[in-house]
Amino acid sequence: MTSPFAAHHADLAGLAAANRRRTLAPRAGIDFASNDYLALAGSYALNEAMTQGLERGLPAGSGGSRLLRGNHEEHETLEAHAARHYGSEAALFFPTGFAANAALFATLPQRGDVIVHDELIHASAHDGMKLGRAERAAARHNDPQAVADTIAAWRRAGGTGTAWIAVESLYSMDGDRAPLADLAAVADRHDAVLIVDEAHATGVYGPAGQGLAHDLAPRENLITLHTCGKALGCEGALLCGPQIVRDFLINRGRPFIFSTAPSPLMAWLVRQALEIVANEPERAARLHRLVRHAEKRLAALGISASGSQIIPVVIGDNARTMHIAGALQAGGFDVRGIRPPTVAQGTARLRIAITLNVGTSEIDALTESLSAAMAAA
């Protein structure tokens, strides 16, 4: 009998031949791979907050969707707090950033609209757009003029709906920042809505960790997404924007309507994380000092700074990338190789993330091992 999974076996074999097959492995080594930028995930502060939440009787599970019995006062308290914190009219809490992006792009842009997105935007945004009814077009990375030209061309071709501009404020694989002020000006000129995914900037940049788009808010044509599983050390995501965005997603957003609500205990923890980040700005300041130290050490190896805590070391070849990553892991450093399709063909890389889980001595040791591994590969 022919295996019903023959095509799947063949696909995985093809990935293996191209040095692109992925496997799961337990965490090991010094952390240069996580998004736990402020070292909150395993912190005493959040563990204490969890204990307090349990003592208050907060449930681990919600028991249903938000529109059934799953809506808990902690969800709504967090959303009100997040709206104030991020300077938006309203907020809506999702279990993951992927779910939030999928719901946003599948629901808000309508038939007859167009979504002009940065070519490097998150996979979750792409999946949401595929579920939606709007046209979509990619624009050159971090090029506001390309965005404006794409919208103008769409208008000339007969486009009459709303244009939506979708970008990340800080890109997850290159570590570079979007020109948000210029993109906001494009949105204003073209009566467009600007969607900014702040996943890797939330907690790290802006006053009280409000992100890189903080000085654009409040704006009627701005939506921001703040994930809670990176610098905030928790889980979930907060979608912030006008009240109509919250109301429409509650009524029309299938990923929201038909999903079990996030844990009320997690909603409490996210709110405490927001307070910690706001009240302890020295965490972000210390991280920025570590980033500058890492940039100086890596510059000696000819590795350019990205200007953020995400430092890509582009190798190019998949096999060589994984060989170098393996050598670093064997030396006790958790550095991961990133291959296509996560990044473009020919740009396989090491993604070095600087977090408060390390100090200057660990960074120095990593750069020495990286130099040796690259020379030997």
Contact indicator for 37, 288 with CB cutoff of 8 Å: no
Domains of the chain: 24-42+281-376 (3.90.1150.10), 58-279 (3.40.640.10)
At 157, which amino acid appears? A
Phi/psi at 63 (5° precision): 85, 0
Contact call for residues 310 and 348 (beta carbons, < 8 A): no
Q: Count the neighbouring beta carbons within 10 Å of the beta carbon of residue 12.
A: 14
The answer to whether the peptide bond before residue 218 is cis (omega within 30 degrees of 0) is yes
Q: What six digits make up the tokens of 247?
A: 């109301």
> 72 near 264, Cβ under 8 Å?
yes
pLDDT of residue 18: 87
Assigned token pair, 68 = 């059934």
**Local confidence pLDDT in tens for the 377 residues of the chain:** 889 999 999 999 999 998 889 898 888 999 999 999 999 999 999 999 999 999 999 999 999 999 999 999 999 999 999 999 999 999 999 999 999 999 999 999 999 999 999 999 999 999 999 999 999 999 999 999 999 999 999 999 999 999 999 999 999 999 999 999 999 999 999 999 999 999 999 999 999 999 999 999 889 999 999 999 999 999 999 999 999 999 999 999 999 999 999 999 999 999 999 999 999 999 999 999 999 999 999 999 999 999 999 999 999 999 999 999 999 999 999 999 999 999 999 999 999 999 999 999 999 999 999 999 999 98
pLDDT recorded at residue 292: 98
**Which residues, at least 6 apart from 314, have a Cβ–Cβ distance to it below 8 Å?**
347, 348, 349
Largest CA distance in the chain: 64
User: What contacts 295, CB < 8 A, 6 or more positions away?
Assistant: 305, 311
pLDDT, residue 377, reads: 84
For the record, the structure tokens of 114 come out as 């167009």
What is the distance of C-alpha 93 from the center of its chain? Answer: 15
Residue 168: which of 201, 196, 148 has the closest Cα? 196
Angle between helices 360-376 and 318-330 (to 10 degrees): 130
Evaluate whether 93 touches 223 at the Cβ level (below 8 Å).
no
CA distances from 108 to 126, 155, 202, 338 (A): 14, 20, 23, 32
DSSP three-state, residue 156 = helix
In the numeric block, which tokens belong to residue 182?
């210029």
Whether cis (ω within 30° of 0) applies to the bond prior to 341 is yes
Name the nearest CA neighbour of 100 among 180, 172, 197.
197
What are 219's two structure tokens?
């704006």
Number of Cα atoms under 13 Å in the Cβ half of residue 9: 5
Torsion of CA 294, 298, 304, 305, to 10 degrees: 0
Residues with Cβ within 8 Å of 282's Cβ and at least 6 positions away in sequence, in order, are none
